[in-house]
Amino acid sequence: MLDKIKSIKQKFGIVGNSNALNHAIQVAIQVAPTDMTVLINGESGTGKESFSKIIHSMSKRKHGEFIAVNCGAIPEGTIDSELFGHEKGSFTGANEARKGYFEVTDGGTIFLDEIGEMPLSTQSRLLRILENGEFIKVGSSKVQKTNVRIIAATNVKLKEAVDKRKFREDLYYRLNTVPIIVPPLRDRGEDISLLFRKFASDFSDTNNIEPVRLDDESKDLLRKYMFPGNIRELKNLTEQISILEIERNITPEVLDKYLPKNSNLPALSNTSEVESDENYNERDILYKILFDLKNDMNEMKKIIDSIMNNDTNPLPNKSKNYIQENNNLTNEKLIINKPSSLTENQYQEVTELVNENESLSIESKEKELIIKALIKNKNKRKYAAKDLGISERTLYRKIKYYSLEKDH
């Protein structure tokens, strides 16, 4: 089996020796001769399509058609036509009949990437093909047969999508007959350095330049980086360093310039502990909240100073309102030393206004910041997250936590 795995790696240009990678290839080899449906699980950029090609090339359908379809890249209004075909005049612009991918690949293999993005109505049509090999073209009533092997891939957790009723449960179990887990790059250890060397060598051959090389410390630094973009990101990083650096021996200081500063890695930190991206995002937003709190406290101090310098006038209504609106800045009582210029009644009035109606300030401020960012960016989460200095994933989780989905 090890010799067969090695042969497959050479044939498809797969670099790496991690146990998780070898296991995924072994499963692909074992399931290939059958007609079983396969679901390939893995993050974006891990090379899931390579596994679909391995399965097709080692199957009895290897001389048939192989088509890879990205379900997430096809608009919802046209995906049924793309997959199942349509009849002439079935919709505006259908000037002639067209064969779909399932008709074209009869006797072959179809690879459905990002299957989790497929609309529910299309999922029903796909389930019918899996159950009895039947489909109907858009605009037709004629049932057609096809003999196609389906390999699907997803970068989302389909079971969670099933629980949220975004993916059919019956289709999930039909697709998940044989699961293959493609490991993320961050879990492949020494493979990262091997892939860097391969990409550097390929780039040098193409552009006729000397390849860049990592020293041992740089290799350790690169292994600690989380690589959210996986192999695709590593290749881009390698090519960028190859073209921009004059010195071909890459040190940690040089490598650090190319690693994203908002990454999960505190690249040249004195600590060996690598914090998660989510922890960094939490820290960033807390910093923003604390800076806002500090500004609000300074404003309150100015108001209180103004009050204390006025011996006779009662507390202005504007100052009262401001303190009432901002008295949730701390969970601790704000202690104000009574100056001689204030009467006892004035002193009591100030401290009561500051300390009453206390609340959990960090949560309220965080929610307020998120609402402001969403309103400012017209509910576009990508730009709101950028303004807040956090990732879209963290913003989405905060929106769910504060039940803001329908508020803005």
Q: How sure is the predictor about 343, in pLDDT bands with cuts at 50, 70 and 90?
A: low
Over residues 73-93, the pLDDT tens digits come to 999 889 999 999 999 988 888
Say what the pLDDT of residue 289 is: 56
| One-character DSSP codes across 230-253 | HHHHHHHHHHHHHHH-SSSEE-HH
Rounded (10°) CA dihedral 325, 329, 330, 331: 50
CA 333, distance to chain mean position in Å, is 42
Over residues 271-292, the pLDDT tens digits come to 333 334 444 445 455 545 555 5
Contact between 213 and 201 (Cβ < 8 Å): no
Say what the pLDDT of residue 320 is: 47
Q: In the predicted model, is pLDDT for residue 203 greater than 70?
A: yes
Q: Do 2-183 and 186-258 share a fold?
A: no
Q: How sure is the predictor about 335, in pLDDT bands with cuts at 50, 70 and 90?
A: very low
CA atoms of 54 and 30, how far apart (whole Å): 11
Over residues 372-386, the pLDDT tens digits come to 888 888 888 888 888
Q: Sign of the C-alpha dihedral, residues 228, 234, 239, 240?
A: positive
The answer to pTM > 0.85 is no
Mean pLDDT, residues 35-59 taken together: 95
Q: In the predicted model, is pLDDT for residue 302 greater than 80?
A: no
Q: Does the domain made of 2-183 have the CATH classification 3.40.50.300? A: yes
Say what the pLDDT of residue 251 is: 95
Q: How sure is the predictor about 361, in pLDDT bands with cuts at 50, 70 and 90?
A: low
Q: How sure is the predictor about 393, in pLDDT bands with cuts at 50, 70 and 90?
A: confident
Buried-exposed string 320-337: b where 16+ CB fall within 10 A, e elsewhere: bebbeebbbbeeeebeee
Q: In the predicted model, is pLDDT for residue 331 greater than 50?
A: no
Mean pLDDT, residues 33-54 taken together: 95
Q: Which fold, 186-258?
A: Helicase, Ruva Protein; domain 3 (1.10.8)
Mean pLDDT, residues 397-404 taken together: 81
Helices and strands, number each (H, E), in the chain: 18, 9
Over residues 212-262, the pLDDT tens digits come to 999 999 999 999 999 999 999 999 999 999 999 999 999 999 999 999 875
- Domain range annotation of the chain: 2-183, 186-258
The mean pLDDT of the chain is 81
